[in-house]
Amino acid sequence: MALLALAWLPACGAEQDSGLARVRRTGELRWGADAQGGEPYAMEDPDAPGGMRGFEVELAEALARELGVKARFVQNDWSNLIPSLERGGFDVALNGIEVTPARSGRILFTRPYYVFNLRLLARQDDAAVTGMAALRGQRVGTLANSLAWDLLQRSGVEAVPYEGVEEPYIDLEQGRVRAVLMDDIIAQRYGQVRPGLRLVGDVGEGYYAIAVRQGDDDLRAALDAALGRIAQSGELRAIFQRWGIDSAAQQRMVDWTDAQTREVLSNTHTARMGWGQLVLFLQAAVVTLLVSAGAMVLAIPLGVGLALTRLYGPGWAGRLATTYVELFRGTPVLLQLYVLYYGLAGVLRLDPLSAAILGLGLNYAAYEAEVYRAGVLAVPRGQLEAALALGMPLRLALRRVIMPQAFRVALPGVTNDFIALLKDSSLVSVISVVELTKRMTITAVDVRSWLIPGALCALLYLAMSYPLSRLARRLEARLERG
């Protein structure tokens, strides 16, 4: 026992290390970022498999060098960088983290390392968009939980959240949103290069800074000092120049003072759960229910058709039906949504809600086909033979004799699939549909808590799925009595 206690004491002390002591003890500065953000922030290096490149990659390496350690990249979804930082997934978050009032009240920020503008883009043929005032009530795309998101929320427009930086501009070209508001670095590389889009103007200014956990004040101070040395030596702007993002405004990062840092970080705000958030949750639940019900209405008849085609159709049609089922069951529904909404945007222009219903409906039709095929095969073959012997055409025999019994067998599976579909509808957030789970993640970041938004989200899912289970059991009992 004494040996165990002695072994436990160093471990306990290690857990209580300050931020800087922890970094030096491990010999590495773990920095979280999202490689999906792409150029020029942090991205996979195609010339070095497993390696990373980008101006923030170089910045992280320079900072680690100044601290006397090595930099280690940790992949994390951008929208969840702050929650992951708080739970200890990495030491710092360094990935275009914008200084906002909500974040300043939640975590520690270093001095800024980059100043950016919020840049508004619209279509070339849409001359009516002259600024934010012209967009009231219109759909405008941006990244969720960003500075641009906060601005749009205050401007009376319908902010459309995206998880990637290229997808908003694809939707803008296709007319699915009226404009896109992004940081100028993103706009220059992904928006302004598209001939069908035009620059409306810059409508705001912001700063990128390194996010540090509360309590790691010594690590923040060390990073501030390291940033100051890198900026004064000219290395910081040299990094910007190599990536084509330097400008006269970046000289402010060289001349930056502690007083300016305090001024930038003085505006803090902490959002809280209230009736307004509850209304947004209910609206998102309605969207979830609409998408799920619409997809199931499409999936059931298509699934029945596929099942009957495989069992009773001509050989070539059966092979096509089998190919459909295997294709949609064997590939991720997320990939199917991406291809349907973005990949086929040039030939099939769908709004997000229609694409969500169609994508999930086509996917679940493959599963329904197998459920109904099993139901049909569960009916004794002699019943079909007897119906045919009595002179019934095949279609009539299927409709009057086989399918009513097959439906009774398939009902539990269909109910289970619909409940699963309610949960799988959370995937449609990748095509900018704000359903229940997406609303929960947005709110959780805003209110600095995952417990209450998560519990409310789970409660609403249960409120939608449990009555369906009860209804299915009552229908099964009624069919049994019949």
Alpha carbon distance 175, 349 (integer Å): 9
Task: Answer yes or no: is pLDDT of 106 > 70.
Answer: yes
Residue spans per domain, the chain: 19-112+208-265, 115-206, 275-480
- Stated length of the chain: 482
Q: How far, in whole angstroms, is CA 346 from its chain's centroid?
A: 23
Q: Stretch 10-27: mean pLDDT, rounded?
A: 72
The CATH number of 275-480 is which of 1.10.3720.10, 3.40.50.300, 3.30.70.580, 1.10.287.3510? 1.10.3720.10
User: Nearest 5°: phi and psi at 141?
Assistant: -90, 150
Contact status, residue 335 vs residue 343, Cβ threshold 8 Å = no
Q: Stretch 84-97: mean pLDDT, rounded?
A: 92
| Pairing assessment for the beta strands 211-212 and 197-208 based on DSSP bridges | unpaired
Task: Answer yes or no: is pLDDT of 374 > 50.
Answer: yes
CA-based diameter of the chain, in Å? 95
Alpha carbon distance 199, 181 (integer Å): 10
Contact status, residue 81 vs residue 95, Cβ threshold 8 Å = yes
CA proximity to 35, closest of 118, 100, 94, 110 = 94
Task: Answer yes or no: is pLDDT of 66 > 80.
Answer: yes
CATH architecture of 115-206: 3-Layer(aba) Sandwich (3.40)
Half-sphere exposure of 62 (CA within 13 A, CB side): 23
Task: Answer yes or no: is pLDDT of 479 > 70.
Answer: no
Which tens digit of pLDDT belongs to each residue from 215-262? 999 999 999 999 999 999 999 999 999 999 999 999 999 999 989 888
What pLDDT does residue 1 have?
46
472 vs 377, which has greater pLDDT?
377
The structure's pTM equals 0.80
Whether 115-206 and 19-112+208-265 are alike in CATH topology: the answer is yes
The CATH number of 19-112+208-265 is which of 1.20.1050.90, 3.40.190.10, 3.30.565.10, 3.30.420.40? 3.40.190.10
Alpha carbon distance 445, 106 (integer Å): 10
Alpha carbon distance 426, 438 (integer Å): 7
Alpha carbon distance 226, 221 (integer Å): 9
What pLDDT does residue 8 have?
41
Alpha carbon distance 222, 209 (integer Å): 14
Which tens digit of pLDDT belongs to each residue from 253-290? 999 998 988 888 887 666 667 787 888 899 999 999 99
Strand partners for 74: 32
Task: Answer yes or no: is pLDDT of 12 > 60.
Answer: no
Lowest mean pLDDT among 54-58, 378-382, 461-465, 476-480: 476-480
Confidence category of residue 11, pLDDT binned at 50, 70, 90: very low
What pLDDT does residue 10 have?
44
Give the tokens for residue 235: 């290395």
